[in-house]
Amino acid sequence: MHDVARARAGRTTSWSAAGLLCDMDGTLVDSAAVIDEAWTEVAVRHDLPRSEVLAALPGRTARDILALFLSDAAMIAEEVARVERRQLVAAGVREIPGARRLLSALHPDRWAVVTAAPESVARARLDAAGLPAPGVLVAAGSVTHGKPSPEGFLLAAERLGLPGGRCVVLEDSAVGVTAGHAAGARVVGVGPGAHEADARVPDLRSFTDIDVTGEVIRWSLAEI
């Protein structure tokens, strides 16, 4: 399937897959400043410890994050809507280096975005970063269970017409790595936080020699 030639850290390995399933924030786009501002405002509004709120963010939907701190369902629903409106302001969102080159090299039916963000926020951020619009986008409203559940990755793979085991997941968070493995995929961790991934890279410039032949994507990966 993936033909992963693992090597010592810092070496280049050869990968292949039928499809790529990509997390968005921290993986394809750098939206950290926008996210921190929005959730700091939530913490201040409800007198919550900012550090704990920010630590709960990676990979989780707004509803799942808020449920960790608030018990009133109506208040949670109000905050979910408020956070979504706040995060539609995508000024300052940039691509993770190498993201545009990687996605532009792929056929639209070979990759998907799987994100905990609402669809409207996801599309605003991808557009602000100058990235191609995905043919398959699985956002917060598409699933019942967010990461670490594999539901989002399995749904994206299904919409691409693939089993999860024929895909490679790109993720920056621990819960996302868990979800990718549970979907049967190998996982490339992007950045410093995805320690349990099958391989880790600093950013997407580590994907080189990208070749799409028929139904197979092949590439070289400069691992950390």
- As annotated, the active-site residues are 23, 25
Residues in the chain: 224
Please, which residues have CB within 8 angstroms of residue 73's CB and are 6 or more apart in sequence?
none
Residues whose CB falls within 8 Å of the CB of residue 142, separated by 6 or more in sequence, listed in order: 119, 152, 155
CB 53 within 8 A of CB 69: yes
* Inter-residue contact 153 to 169 (CB < 8 Å): yes
DSSP H stretches of helix in the chain = 32-45, 50-55, 62-67, 73-87, 99-104, 119-128, 151-159, 174-182
Query: CA–CA separation, 166 vs 17, rounded Å?
Result: 6
The conformation of residue 192, written as its DSSP 8-state character, comes to T
